Amino acid sequence: MTTHLKIAFLALNDAAVLVAAHECGFAEAEGLSLELIRTTSWATLRDRLVFGQVHAAQMLAPLALAVTLGLSQQPAALAAPYKLGVNGNMLVMATDFAKALDQDLPARLADPLGTAHDFAAAIGLWRRKPVIGVVHRFSSHALMLRYWLASAGIDPDRDVVLRVLPPSLTVEALGAGEIDGFIAGEPWGSAAVEAGLAEAVAIGERIWRRGVEKVLAFREAWLEENPDTTDRLLRALAQAAAWCDDPENHTALADLLSDPRYVDQPADLIRRALSGQIVARPGEPAIANPDFVLFSREATPFPWRSQALWIYSQLVRWGMVERDGASAAKAGSVFRPDIYRRALADSDVPMPGASMKVEGAVTTPLSVGSRQRELTLGPDRFFDGRVFDPERIDDYLADFAPQR
């Protein structure tokens, strides 16, 4: 018997795994039929999930924590047993603004620390406080942007204006001069560059080399009541993710995503980002960033609890949540490695032995303990060299200079 599942998503490249699971037969093979429901705002995606109008949703990882912590409208216990991707974001700034930055484009993208300091200088030269679009206060992009700006002494709440707008309106707003740049998931940054409005300034992958992005979020109660369906879905997604990661399939995947029902943007633009070919300025050759977005390898989908806690540490850092033991425990438990293990125990997916790790400590590919197949973790450094030990959140936070 086929089980019907409704899953909400936004028009972004990292809906890839869901789209591939639906379109390429991976869901069907597990006896599932997926109904992918496109939404135009994170608020609506959240409401559909929280109020039970969909079974699962492609959600910004920090938003899943925020809903659980009661920071974003109706509180609800959410659970994320699967990460839909790692990285895939880009900060672009208006062409005029970018004139004050390093004109050597590969060097600009490869050196986020230098570029952050150039950015600080560029703020002073700009005609107003730069207005930077972010897709949501509780987005991975916004947290990475804050982290990056602060490294050069820029106070993201005082020295720039962060304006929330949906990814699909970013390019239009830039063209109209309502914003001076934005950070968003692909293909929107590339679309702004392609339109001749902006240049790439920083790439998410260079800020945190293995930055958490979207998760598949469920209501915790539903997840607990439907273990079999959940496991089948996770197995289908793991197969789909491996397919999405394979460079041989990038053209086919880009064609799928370009469909009006999904991302509705040119296939070529989508394919470039999937393959990590970043055009930083119109007409310039693409700069290769092979780890620009990951779906499967290095156990990408595994929901490390330490990553949920890193997000929590940033929410605390920016005053979005009170620091206390109860909220930390609640935040950490949104990520559900136990469910991931259960679902994929009999598969050939490499399985980490631990559920927490020190984030940012891997500088070269590292083989780690795995119960199935060999697992190699890629470098996961933060660009400033800090490491996050989930057992020592307070020390980690104390090490950042006070903002004001």
Binding site for another protein (CB under 8 A): 40-44, 47-48, 51-53, 72-74, 135-137, 163-166, 168-169, 178
53 vs 103, beta carbon nearer another protein:
53
44 vs 251, beta carbon nearer another protein:
44
- Calpha distance 393→388 (Å, rounded): 7
DSSP letters spanning 264-317: -S-HHHHHHHHTTEE--STTSPPEE-TTSEESSGGGTT---HHHHHHHHHHHHH
183 vs 278, beta carbon nearer another protein:
183
48 vs 214, beta carbon nearer another protein:
48
What's the closest the beta carbon of residue 281 comes to another protein, in angstroms? 28
- Calpha distance 400→277 (Å, rounded): 33
What's the closest the beta carbon of residue 39 comes to another protein, in angstroms? 8
Name the token pair of 364: 């070269």
51 vs 369, beta carbon nearer another protein:
51
Q: Are β-strands 32-38 and 3-9 bridged in parallel, bridged antiparallel, or unpaired?
A: parallel
What's the closest the beta carbon of residue 132 comes to another protein, in angstroms? 13
Asked if 180 and 97 touch (Cβ cutoff 8 Å), the reply is yes
What's the closest the beta carbon of residue 169 comes to another protein, in angstroms? 6
What's the closest the beta carbon of residue 178 comes to another protein, in angstroms? 7
Q: What share of the chain is helix, strand, coil (3-state, %, to 5)?
A: 40, 20, 40
What's the closest the beta carbon of residue 219 comes to another protein, in angstroms? 12
What's the closest the beta carbon of residue 41 comes to another protein, in angstroms? 4
Nearest to 89 by CA among 202, 217, 194, 8: 202
What's the closest the beta carbon of residue 164 comes to another protein, in angstroms? 4
Asked if 303 and 351 touch (Cβ cutoff 8 Å), the reply is no
134 vs 236, beta carbon nearer another protein:
134
- Calpha distance 31→343 (Å, rounded): 15
66 vs 274, beta carbon nearer another protein:
66
178 vs 291, beta carbon nearer another protein:
178
Q: Give the Å distances, CA to CA, from 199 to 87, 94, 96, 170, 253.
A: 19, 6, 9, 14, 26
Q: What is the largest CA-CA distance in the chain?
A: 64
Beta bridge partners of 288: 277
